[in-house]
Chains A and B, each alone.
Chain A
Amino acid sequence: MNGAHYVRGDFMSDHEGVRRRDVLKGLGVTGAAVGIATTAAPPALTEAQAQAAPHAHTHPPERNGESANIFRYFTPPEAAVIVALVDTLIPKDDVGPGGVEVGVPIFIDRELAGAYGRGARMFLNGPFGEGTPQQGYQLPLPPADLYRVGIADLNAWCARTRDGKTFDQLSTADRTAALKALEAGQAEFRQIPSRTFFGILLQNTMEGYFADPIYGGNRNSAVWAMIGFPGAIGMYADLIEQYRNKQYVAAPKSIQDLS
């Protein structure tokens, strides 16, 4: 059953792009610049061909680690704010890894650069009205636009209330206080409700922290190891009885580990 090496379309298109580029570089093809849109990768080489290429495994891409840290969607000032936000929501501490070190800002960036960010599966027809909380999200903005507007609003609100500073320029204590105000809906944003921005930020931060590492967060499955989740492996028919009320320790396995 371990034969599924193909890469699916749809949401996974970003990762397909990364893998193609890395493979191409491993082959000595250097035309694809690192860190730009996935469409820059030449589309001619199929995944099957790439995997069959003789040097793909013997010459691992040297700059792989660097490309993984280049933002695609966020501008540098936006990226600085996202890194500061994630670092405040999930700091590095004595409990376990921080959101930034396991790649959560890159996860959010990759999500926003793809189908999710464009709201590909959202209903975005008008007219738009302000509903009740029970009616859910009603803004005309798909996630990528919501972040762009939200970061601008956040920085403007910080500047108004905190001596002209953007969020990433605040002290740790001020960042925490600011996020608590957003969470409570007490920060007055100019364009969108601050609580709406906080909601999607928290959701995506948690997704990146706990999702399979193939999406750019939870690097080295470090978050799964922290909580004791064995990851994508899922073979417990012979273990569920044996480990009743016993600790089960296993190094977490990601989809890539099992592929």
Chain B
Amino acid sequence: MSTKLKAADIVIVGLGWTGGILAKELADTGLSIVVLERGKPRDTNPDFMYPNIHDELKYAQRHELMQDVSRETLTFRNNSGQTALPMRQLGSFLPGEGVGGAGVHWNGVTWRWLPWDHEPEKMTLARYGKSAIPQDMQLQDWGVSYDELEPYYDKFEYLCGVAGKAGNLAGNKIDGGNVFEGSRKREYPNPPMIQSYPGQLFEKAARSLGYHPFPGPSANMSQPYINPDGVAFGACHYCGYCERFGCEVNAKASAHFTVIPLAAAKKNVEIRTDSRVMKVNLDAAQKRAESVTYLDAAGREFEQPGGLVVLAAYALGNVHLMLLSRIGKPYDPVAGSGVVGRNYAYQIGSGANVFFDEKTWMNPFMGSGALSMNIDDFNTGSFDHLKEGFIGGGGISTPSAGGRPIGFRPVPPGTPAWGTDWKRAVVRHYNHTLAINNQGSVMGYRQNYLDLDPTYRDRYGRPLMRMTFDFQPNEQKQANFLADVCVKIGEAMGGERVARRGAPQRYSIVPYQSTHNTGGAVLGTDPTRSALNPFSQTWDVSNVFVTGACAFPQNAGKNPTGPVAALALRTADSIKRYLKNPGPLVPA
């Protein structure tokens, strides 16, 4: 049945930001590299051309660029007392599929996570002691500090042409930038984007309250840009079609026109699309990966042997492949043993909508995915969060990401959902409303995890992955506290009405919240609490490396693409070290 192919030195699974970065960086070794991508080949021309790409129904509602769950999905339940049921259509999060992955339809928000996010256990113990940590919270460090990751954050920002303003240059705090960020060695490669009117209102209100507003770091180009690899970017049109769309002018940094073509141009790199990896095959001792099995577009099965396997799929896909392939011991929340599936986390949202009079014009359709004003005064590590009764925090922002009307129709609470009164409210408020959002951190918990479902199987006969997750009281306190801050900012803006959005009671997989799924195969220095060592190498199978947001032991109050890409760049360096002397980079 299976056709065995010629061996490659390195097999990379997935071709989004992480797979693209690894293929490009490892191509320099001259070793033979095969990259397997489950979806289609895609490029700016013809796939994202204007005006067809400005189609809200096709891309934002029908998820043209995203994972097809008729083929692969997962099951979900809020807690282990329930029976998990399949996610039958996309909702809460939107993984990508095809060349470029989710990095095609992202917004371009490119943060460095705060130093606290990399070492929360160490910093919490130092400041508050062990008793501050809730009993079921599994707070743990990456084993990679912010300072160790800084050169890779820097490299990705220049790769992407990120527009922004530094707030901490080599320890010097700079007003107008994010004074809470970790120390950076140099300024962003591009100046901040043109701020929108809602962003200006946010800035003024936040400043009046004594907070420290700054423009969000944006991989939407504030001017034409050529990156250090010689890749040209167009200037952003502020068209408002970023999130869930591809960019027709390459003004939004994406892997499909940066790292991927550079990798593909190398003779030693072969990219195979429509190649859906089913599992990684280990040797009898389960100590070494020998090959991966995949299906092509016609459903034919192939075995691709490789000396080294890199899992670079979406966070959830990596964990699924590890569970199916028995790479590492599956996590058991009852026994508290095992590591694969451990510390799955998400983010929690709250905020406020501010409704203005009819003489205040927001022009919500003028914007770009990462255009925003922000404060980090209440983000992780920026303030005394334990005094407020929780661990963590969140980023607060007013985005101007577009006003596409199927998705963006703000009306005050209490407005009917249909009929003449509804229509009147939509017309009244469409151009006169802004949002203030909290993007809240979520820590790892004993009871939130991923494993294989005992009942449901995908189209290829494999068990679906099962997600068990709910919001915990610590996070709900945080989201409510930050919602109150959002209301304060809203009231300082001078709108007619501020509508608070408090913490959700339960996590639901139905409404869209964020494609920021983290954990399940986390980094760490302790093999009993982490699936990967600090070099992204699996503890148990030393020729398998895993990269992506699955490696984050907890989720932060910031979008994850910055640290995902920085970690991929660092993983490439770690793999180069491994190749010189194959074996565990850290003794287990």
Whether B46 and A6, one on each chain, are in contact in the complex, defined by CB atoms closer than 8 angstroms, is yes
Our pick among B62, B77, B403 for the contact of A121 (Cβ within 8 Å) is: B62
Tell me if B248 is interfacial: C-beta within 8 Å of chain A.
yes
Whether B51 and A2, one on each chain, are in contact in the complex, defined by CB atoms closer than 8 angstroms, is yes
Whether A123 and B89, one on each chain, are in contact in the complex, defined by CB atoms closer than 8 angstroms, is yes
Residues of B contacting A119 in the complex (Cβ-Cβ under 8 angstroms): 70
Tell me if A136 is interfacial: C-beta within 8 Å of chain B.
yes
Tell me if B119 is interfacial: C-beta within 8 Å of chain A.
no
**Could you say which of B53-61, B124-132, B155-163, B387-395 contacts chain A?**
B53-61
Tell me if A93 is interfacial: C-beta within 8 Å of chain B.
yes
**Could you say which of B261-269, B420-428, B535-543 contacts chain A?**
B420-428
Residues of B contacting A2 in the complex (Cβ-Cβ under 8 angstroms): 50-51
Residues of A contacting B360 in the complex (Cβ-Cβ under 8 angstroms): 245
B354 to chain A, nearest CB (A): 14
Whether B406 and A135, one on each chain, are in contact in the complex, defined by CB atoms closer than 8 angstroms, is no
**Could you say which of A61-69, A153-161, A225-233 contacts chain B?**
A225-233
| Mask: chain A, 119-163; 1 = CB below 8 Å from B; 0 = not | 111111101010111111110000000000000000000000000
CB contact under 8 A between A234 and B57, given known A136-B87, A227-B427: no
> Which residue of chain A has its CB nearest to the CB of B457?
A125
Whether A234 and B427, one on each chain, are in contact in the complex, defined by CB atoms closer than 8 angstroms, is no
Whether A8 and B52, one on each chain, are in contact in the complex, defined by CB atoms closer than 8 angstroms, is yes
**Could you say which of A25-33, A185-193, A235-243 contacts chain B?**
A235-243
CA distance A116 to B64 in the complex (A): 11
Whether B420 and A91, one on each chain, are in contact in the complex, defined by CB atoms closer than 8 angstroms, is yes
Q: For the side of the interface on A, what is the size category?
A: 35 or more
CA distance A207 to B404 in the complex (A): 11
**Could you say which of A16-24, A47-55, A73-81, A208-216 contacts chain B?**
A208-216
Whether B361 and A234, one on each chain, are in contact in the complex, defined by CB atoms closer than 8 angstroms, is no
CB contact under 8 A between A134 and B83, given known A89-B418, A89-B419, A230-B365: no
**Could you say which of B176-184, B235-243, B579-587 contacts chain A?**
B235-243
A155 to chain B, nearest CB (A): 20
Whether A240 and B363, one on each chain, are in contact in the complex, defined by CB atoms closer than 8 angstroms, is yes
Whether B197 and A245, one on each chain, are in contact in the complex, defined by CB atoms closer than 8 angstroms, is yes
Tell me if A39 is interfacial: C-beta within 8 Å of chain B.
no
A225 to chain B, nearest CB (A): 11
CA distance A214 to B54 in the complex (A): 12
| Mask: chain A, 216-259; 1 = CB below 8 Å from B; 0 = not | 00000001101111111111110111011111100001010011
Whether B509 and A135, one on each chain, are in contact in the complex, defined by CB atoms closer than 8 angstroms, is yes
CA distance A256 to B201 in the complex (A): 36
Whether A134 and B510, one on each chain, are in contact in the complex, defined by CB atoms closer than 8 angstroms, is yes
Tell me if B528 is interfacial: C-beta within 8 Å of chain A.
no
Whether A4 and B46, one on each chain, are in contact in the complex, defined by CB atoms closer than 8 angstroms, is yes
Residues of B contacting A179 in the complex (Cβ-Cβ under 8 angstroms): 418
Main secondary structure of the interface of A (DSSP, over half): loop
B240 to chain A, nearest CB (A): 6
Whether A136 and B91, one on each chain, are in contact in the complex, defined by CB atoms closer than 8 angstroms, is yes
CB contact under 8 A between A121 and B63, given known A134-B507, A236-B240: yes
Whether B62 and A116, one on each chain, are in contact in the complex, defined by CB atoms closer than 8 angstroms, is yes
Whether A134 and B430, one on each chain, are in contact in the complex, defined by CB atoms closer than 8 angstroms, is no
CB contact under 8 A between A234 and B423, given known A4-B46, A136-B510: no
Tell me if A1 is interfacial: C-beta within 8 Å of chain B.
yes
Tell me if A45 is interfacial: C-beta within 8 Å of chain B.
no
Our pick among B77, B200, B420 for the contact of A93 (Cβ within 8 Å) is: B420
Whether B85 and A138, one on each chain, are in contact in the complex, defined by CB atoms closer than 8 angstroms, is yes
CA distance A230 to B294 in the complex (A): 46
Tell me if A202 is interfacial: C-beta within 8 Å of chain B.
yes
CB contact under 8 A between A236 and B73, given known A4-B51, A89-B419: no
Whether B406 and A122, one on each chain, are in contact in the complex, defined by CB atoms closer than 8 angstroms, is no
> Which residue of chain A has its CB nearest to the CB of B51?
A258
A73 to chain B, nearest CB (A): 17
Residues of B contacting A214 in the complex (Cβ-Cβ under 8 angstroms): 55
Whether B85 and A135, one on each chain, are in contact in the complex, defined by CB atoms closer than 8 angstroms, is yes
> Which residue of chain B has its CB nearest to the CB of A255?
B51
B494 to chain A, nearest CB (A): 12
Whether B58 and A12, one on each chain, are in contact in the complex, defined by CB atoms closer than 8 angstroms, is yes
CA distance A137 to B84 in the complex (A): 13
Whether B237 and A236, one on each chain, are in contact in the complex, defined by CB atoms closer than 8 angstroms, is yes
Within 8 A of A (CB), among B224-242: 235-241
Tell me if B78 is interfacial: C-beta within 8 Å of chain A.
yes
Residues of B contacting A231 in the complex (Cβ-Cβ under 8 angstroms): 54
Our pick among A10, A95, A123, A228 for the contact of B430 (Cβ within 8 Å) is: A228
Within 8 A of A (CB), among B424-473: 424, 426-427, 430-431, 455-457, 459
Whether A236 and B238, one on each chain, are in contact in the complex, defined by CB atoms closer than 8 angstroms, is yes
CA distance A224 to B404 in the complex (A): 10
Whether B419 and A176, one on each chain, are in contact in the complex, defined by CB atoms closer than 8 angstroms, is yes
CA distance A97 to B566 in the complex (A): 50
CA distance A95 to B429 in the complex (A): 13
CA distance A166 to B194 in the complex (A): 55
Residues of A contacting B336 in the complex (Cβ-Cβ under 8 angstroms): none
CA distance A89 to B197 in the complex (A): 33
CA distance A132 to B194 in the complex (A): 45
CA distance A140 to B448 in the complex (A): 28
Within 8 A of A (CB), among B39-77: 46, 49-52, 54-58, 61-64, 68-70, 73, 76-77
CA distance A131 to B57 in the complex (A): 28
Our pick among B54, B82, B248, B418 for the contact of A132 (Cβ within 8 Å) is: B82
CA distance A88 to B231 in the complex (A): 53
B538 to chain A, nearest CB (A): 29
B303 to chain A, nearest CB (A): 26
Residues of B contacting A127 in the complex (Cβ-Cβ under 8 angstroms): 455
Residues of B contacting A235 in the complex (Cβ-Cβ under 8 angstroms): 237, 239
CB contact under 8 A between A243 and B361, given known A135-B509, A136-B88, A137-B89: yes
A11 to chain B, nearest CB (A): 6
A238 to chain B, nearest CB (A): 9
Within 8 A of A (CB), among B61-120: 61-64, 68-70, 73, 76-78, 82-91
Tell me if A90 is interfacial: C-beta within 8 Å of chain B.
yes
| Mask: chain B, 363-379; 1 = CB below 8 Å from A; 0 = not | 10111000000000000
CA distance A129 to B455 in the complex (A): 12
CA distance A8 to B569 in the complex (A): 36
Within 8 A of A (CB), among B379-424: 403-406, 409, 417-420, 423-424
> Which residue of chain B has its CB nearest to the CB of A217?
B57
Whether A227 and B405, one on each chain, are in contact in the complex, defined by CB atoms closer than 8 angstroms, is yes
Whether A136 and B430, one on each chain, are in contact in the complex, defined by CB atoms closer than 8 angstroms, is no
B38 to chain A, nearest CB (A): 15
Residues of B contacting A70 in the complex (Cβ-Cβ under 8 angstroms): none
> Which residue of chain B has its CB nearest to the CB of A12?
B58
Tell me if B133 is interfacial: C-beta within 8 Å of chain A.
no
Our pick among A8, A136, A234 for the contact of B54 (Cβ within 8 Å) is: A234
Whether A133 and B62, one on each chain, are in contact in the complex, defined by CB atoms closer than 8 angstroms, is no
CA distance A235 to B83 in the complex (A): 49
Contacts beyond the supplied A136-B87, A210-B56: 13 A-B pairs with Cβ under 8 Å:
A95-B427, A96-B423, A134-B78, A134-B509, A135-B77, A136-B510, A211-B57, A235-B237, A236-B239, A237-B238, A244-B196, A247-B361, A255-B54
16 A-B contact pairs sorted by A residue (CB < 8 Å) = A2-B50, A11-B58, A88-B419, A124-B88, A134-B506, A136-B510, A137-B88, A202-B418, A206-B409, A212-B55, A214-B55, A235-B239, A236-B365, A237-B236, A246-B361, A247-B361
B residues neighboring A (CB under 8 Å):
46, 49-52, 54-58, 61-64, 68-70, 73, 76-78, 82-91, 194, 196-197, 200, 235-241, 248-249, 360-361, 363, 365-367, 403-406, 409, 417-420, 423-424, 426-427, 430-431, 455-457, 459, 506-510
